[in-house]
Amino acid sequence: MTSVARGNLASMSEIYQHRHRTLFRFFFRLTGRQTTAEDLVHDVFLRMIRYRHTYQLEAGPAGDGFEAWMYRIARNAFADQAKKHRLEAPADDHVFEVLEGGRPSAFEQFSKKQELDLLHRAMRELPEDKRELIVLSRFQGLTYEQIGNILGCETGTAKVRVFRAVKEMGRIYNELVQEKAS
């Protein structure tokens, strides 16, 4: 990114190749919509080019300056998109991706699908800020330090926020399970 910040825009192609899937998964897990996620990825890369001059100021001593800078841009793009599309209907339960591994029985598949549907509903019912924390920590695999850099807070604060988000998602999930059982 340093060479892009200095004006070598051809280097952006390599960054795109290494980061577009990561950003797509981030946005898809936040929105549940493929086209929205794709649009947001493209918006982030356009913003990275437009605001490349700010990167030099953001490079941190921990070596994760790019990651934090990229996710801050991604968060801003998502927030801007959310403001524009507040009136859209939420994604259906079956829209979220399902990762399969092995050959479970039909009953196990059905049971797993029901659990995933409840987890997706719980995820959608979380406030956006808490959903974002879960996506960053659990799906994107970022460290608490990186999340703290992205959010502009201390590592300990990021850890507490992620813990609270996971705890709330668990509470919502348990309510959904009880609701389904009755």
pLDDT for res 57 = 55
- State the total domains in the chain: 2
Q: Which residue has the tokens 């609270």?
A: 164
What's the CATH number where 7 sits?
1.10.1740
CA distance 133 to 128: 9
CB 174 within 8 A of CB 68: no
pLDDT for res 180 = 76
- 144/78 same-domain check: no
- The list of the chain residues with pLDDT below 50 reads 93-95, 97-101
pLDDT for res 32 = 84
pLDDT for res 105 = 60
Domain endpoint, select from 58, 90, 122: 90
Domain that holds residue 169: 106-182
Residue 7 is assigned to a structural domain of this protein: yes
Q: Which residue has the tokens 């999340």?
A: 147
Residue 100 is assigned to a structural domain of this protein: no
CA distance 43 to 16: 12
pLDDT for res 101 = 47
CB 173 within 8 A of CB 118: yes
The pair of structure tokens assigned to 94 is: 């079956």
CA distance 73 to 50: 11
Kindly report, residue by residue over 102-122, the tens digit of the pLDDT: 565 666 666 677 777 888 888
Residue 99 is assigned to a structural domain of this protein: no
- 86/142 same-domain check: no
Domain endpoint, select from 37, 63, 90: 90
pLDDT for res 99 = 43
Q: Where is 159: in which H helix or E strand? A: helix 155-181
Domain endpoint, select from 90, 124, 155: 90
Residue 129 is assigned to a structural domain of this protein: yes
pLDDT for res 39 = 92
Strand residues in the chain grouped as ranges (E): none
- 74/6 same-domain check: yes
Residue 61 is assigned to a structural domain of this protein: yes
The pair of structure tokens assigned to 66 is: 């790019």
What's the CATH number where 170 sits?
1.10.10.10
pLDDT for res 95 = 47
Long-range contacts formed by 70-77: CB under 8 A, 24+ apart:
70/19, 70/23, 70/44, 71/26, 71/136, 71/142, 71/146, 71/150, 72/150, 73/44, 73/47, 73/48, 74/23, 74/26, 74/27, 74/40, 74/44, 75/132, 75/150, 76/47, 77/40, 77/43, 77/44, 77/47
DSSP one-letter string for 22-63: HHHHHHHHHH--HHHHHHHHHHHHHHHHHTGGGHHHH--TTS
Kindly report, residue by residue over 63-93, the tens digit of the pLDDT: 567 888 889 999 999 988 888 766 555 555 4
